Amino acid sequence: MGFEAFRYIDLMGTFVFALSGALAAIDRRLDLFGVVVIAFVTACGGGVIRDLCIGALPPAGLTNLAYVAVVGLAVALAGGFQTRLQKLAQPTLFFDAIGLGFFAAFGVHKVYTHIPDVELAVLLGVVSAVGGGILRDVLLGRVPVILSKDIYASAALLCALVQVGGELQWLNPAFSAWVGIGLCTGLRMLSLRYGWNLPGIGKVL
């Protein structure tokens, strides 16, 4: 898969994560500035952390106007269609589930392109996917989803492993990202639909 395809994957992930953040901020009745900040942090936070870790400076999320435009579009849509979007069951988690796979796949690809280390690529691929959601939840005073029993980081990990298989040519690189995204999003959506969770500590010890 070429660079342009991954670029579109990154922007699609940015858009749906920004929607997730904007809807969460609107639900908390933040003002316009607050909604924009939460949307931007949700969409770009994980990528900024990833870029800082691999030395890709300055981070793309802070210098590329395309990210600002996509976040602005997501905020406008969230504000204009909030009534319809809020009718979705748990809209923040719904858009989170979609963005999770996009960012995990792109994160692995970017990290492996800069530093061809499998462990680092998988780790920072997951960080790319979950970092923005963690920052959003902390800023909104909520327990981050990753710290609950939800199948969240594990879904991102599945996508990251599939994508690193594509980077290593173990899987067809033309399709590995889309397979990983599909598996990640499907697993996350099914876990939300059927209440699948990781076992609590009391069930393990």
CA 205 to centroid of chain Cα atoms: 31
Confidence band for 79, pLDDT divided at 50, 70 and 90 = confident
Residues 6+ apart with CB under 8 A from 87: none
Give the pTM.
Answer: 0.88
Tens digit of each residue's pLDDT (9 = 90 or more) over 108-131? 999 999 999 999 999 999 999 999
Tens digit of each residue's pLDDT (9 = 90 or more) over 29-59? 999 999 999 999 999 999 999 999 999 999 9
- How do the domains of the chain map onto residue ranges? 3-197
Rounded to an integer, what distance in angstroms lies between the CA atom of residue 184 and that of residue 193?
Answer: 14
pLDDT at 147: 78
Has residue 151 got a pLDDT over 90? no
Has residue 150 got a pLDDT over 80? no
CA-CA distances (angstroms) from residue 204 to 86, 99, 145, 151, 181? 36, 30, 20, 16, 29
61 touches 67 (CB < 8 A): yes
129 touches 46 (CB < 8 A): yes
